[in-house]
Structure 1
Amino acid sequence: MGRERDHLYITVPNLFRCPISMDVMRSPVSLCTGITYDRASIQHWLESGHDTCPATMQILQSKDVIPNLTLRRLINLWAQSRGPSSPASSPCLSSQHLASLVQFLRNENETEKFSQNIVHSLSKTADFARVGEENRRFVANFDGFVSAIVGILNREGVEIEVLESVIKVLDSILPQSGVNEQLSRFIAKSNGNYLASIRLVLQKGSLSSKNESVKVLDSIALDAESKRLIAEKEGLLSVLNNLLSLETCQDLYGAVFSCLASLSVNRSIKAELVRFGLVRVVTSTLLNPDTSTTLAEKCLKLLSTVATCAEGRSAISGEEKCAGAVAERLMKVSRGATEDGVAVLWSVCCMLGDKRARESVAGGNVVAKVLLVMQSGYGEGHFVRRMCGDLVKVLSVGLGLGLRYDTKTIHIMPC
Structure 2
Amino acid sequence: MVRDDLYITVPSFFKCPISLDVMKSPVSLCTGVTYDRSSIQRWLDSGNNTCPATMQVLQSKEFIPNRTLQRLIQIWSDSSRNHRVDSADSPPHSAPSPEQLQDLIKDLDRNGESFSKIICFARESEENRKFLARMDGFIVTLAEFLGNAGDGKCWSFDFLEKVVLVLDLVLGKVVDDEQVTNSMLKTDRNCLASLLLVLQQGSTESRIASARVLGAIANDAESKLMIADKEGVLSELLKLIAPEKDPELIEAGLSSLIRISMPRRVKARLVHLGTIKSLAKLISASNPSVSVTEKALKLLETVSSCKEGRSEMCEDVACVAAIVHKVFKVSSAATEHAVTILWSLCYLFRDQRAQDAVAQANGLTKILLLMQSNCSPSVRQMSADLLKIFRINSKSCLASYDTKTTHIMPF
TM-score, normalised to structure 2, is: 0.70
Residues in 2 aligned to 1:84 and 1:199: alpha-carbon distance in whole angstroms: 41
**Equivalent residue, structure 1, for 2:105:** 102
Q: 1:92 aligns with which of 74, 91, 95?
A: 95
Structure 1 residues 354 and 161: alpha-carbon distance in aligned structure 2, compared to 1, 3 A threshold: same
Does the 8 Å contact 1:129/1:135 carry over to 2? yes
Q: Tell me how far 1:225 sits from its aligned partner.
A: 2.5
Residues in 2 aligned to 1:246 and 1:294: alpha-carbon distance in whole angstroms: 14
Q: 2:387 aligns with which of 384, 388, 392?
A: 392
**Equivalent residue, structure 2, for 1:200:** 197
Q: 2:251 aligns with which of 241, 254, 257?
A: 254
**Equivalent residue, structure 2, for 1:294:** 291
Structure 1 residues 411 and 166: alpha-carbon distance in aligned structure 2, compared to 1, 3 A threshold: same
Q: Tell me how far 1:354 sits from its aligned partner.
A: 3.7
Does the 8 Å contact 2:241/2:251 carry over to 1? no
Q: What is the SS of the residue equivalent to 1:190?
A: coil
**Equivalent residue, structure 2, for 1:324:** 321
**Equivalent residue, structure 2, for 1:341:** 338
Q: What is the SS of the residue equivalent to 1:130?
A: helix
Between Structure 1 and Structure 2, whose CA radius of gyration is higher?
Answer: 2
Structure 1 residues 329 and 145: alpha-carbon distance in aligned structure 2, compared to 1, 3 A threshold: same
Structure 1 residues 340 and 348: alpha-carbon distance in aligned structure 2, compared to 1, 3 A threshold: same
Residues in 2 aligned to 1:121 and 1:374: alpha-carbon distance in whole angstroms: 58
Residues in 1 aligned to 2:231 and 2:368: alpha-carbon distance in whole angstroms: 45
Residues in 1 aligned to 2:326 and 2:261: alpha-carbon distance in whole angstroms: 23
Q: Tell me how far 1:180 sits from its aligned partner.
A: 4.6
Paired AA for residue 140 in structure 1: A
Q: Tell me how far 1:192 sits from its aligned partner.
A: 4.8
**Equivalent residue, structure 1, for 2:56:** none
Paired AA for residue 132 in structure 2: V
Q: What is the SS of the residue equivalent to 2:401?
A: strand
**Equivalent residue, structure 1, for 2:306:** 309
Residues in 1 aligned to 2:9 and 2:169: alpha-carbon distance in whole angstroms: 23
Deviations 1:99-153 (A, max 9, x none): 3332223xxxxx3xxx32xx22212211221221222123222333222222101
**Equivalent residue, structure 1, for 2:179:** 182
**Equivalent residue, structure 1, for 2:118:** 125
Deviations 1:358-398 (A, max 9, x none): 34333544223223333435342x5x434212222334545
Residues in 1 aligned to 2:273 and 2:234: alpha-carbon distance in whole angstroms: 9
Residues in 1 aligned to 2:234 and 2:135: alpha-carbon distance in whole angstroms: 33
Residues in 2 aligned to 1:209 and 1:247: alpha-carbon distance in whole angstroms: 18
Residues in 2 aligned to 1:297 and 1:178: alpha-carbon distance in whole angstroms: 27
Structure 1 residues 307 and 246: alpha-carbon distance in aligned structure 2, compared to 1, 3 A threshold: closer
Residues in 2 aligned to 1:341 and 1:174: alpha-carbon distance in whole angstroms: 31
Residues in 2 aligned to 1:175 and 1:196: alpha-carbon distance in whole angstroms: 21
**Equivalent residue, structure 2, for 1:234:** 231
Q: What is the SS of the residue equivalent to 2:305?
A: coil
- Consecutive unaligned residues in structure 1, runs of 5 or more: 8-78, 86-90, 106-110
1:74-89 matches, cutoff 5 A: none
Residues in 2 aligned to 1:403 and 1:227: alpha-carbon distance in whole angstroms: 48
Structure 1 residues 373 and 241: alpha-carbon distance in aligned structure 2, compared to 1, 3 A threshold: same
Structure 1 residues 274 and 285: alpha-carbon distance in aligned structure 2, compared to 1, 3 A threshold: same
Q: What is the SS of the residue equivalent to 2:160?
A: helix
Structure 1 residues 212 and 316: alpha-carbon distance in aligned structure 2, compared to 1, 3 A threshold: same
Residues in 2 aligned to 1:303 and 1:372: alpha-carbon distance in whole angstroms: 23
Does the 8 Å contact 2:243/2:281 carry over to 1? no
**Equivalent residue, structure 2, for 1:220:** 217
1:31-46 matches, cutoff 5 A: none
Residues in 2 aligned to 1:122 and 1:410: alpha-carbon distance in whole angstroms: 61
Residues in 2 aligned to 1:247 and 1:204: alpha-carbon distance in whole angstroms: 18
The answer to whether 1:265 aligns with 2:268 is no
Residues in 2 aligned to 1:236 and 1:261: alpha-carbon distance in whole angstroms: 14
Structure 1 residues 83 and 154: alpha-carbon distance in aligned structure 2, compared to 1, 3 A threshold: closer
TM-score, normalised to structure 1, is: 0.69
Structure 1 residues 335 and 181: alpha-carbon distance in aligned structure 2, compared to 1, 3 A threshold: farther
**Equivalent residue, structure 2, for 1:146:** 139
**Equivalent residue, structure 2, for 1:32:** none
Structure 1 residues 209 and 349: alpha-carbon distance in aligned structure 2, compared to 1, 3 A threshold: same
Does the 8 Å contact 1:404/1:414 carry over to 2? no
Residues in 1 aligned to 2:9 and 2:135: alpha-carbon distance in whole angstroms: 24
Paired AA for residue 337 in structure 2: D
Report percent identity of matched pairs: 39
Does the 8 Å contact 1:403/1:414 carry over to 2? no
Residues in 2 aligned to 1:82 and 1:190: alpha-carbon distance in whole angstroms: 45
Residues in 1 aligned to 2:169 and 2:358: alpha-carbon distance in whole angstroms: 43
**Equivalent residue, structure 1, for 2:62:** none
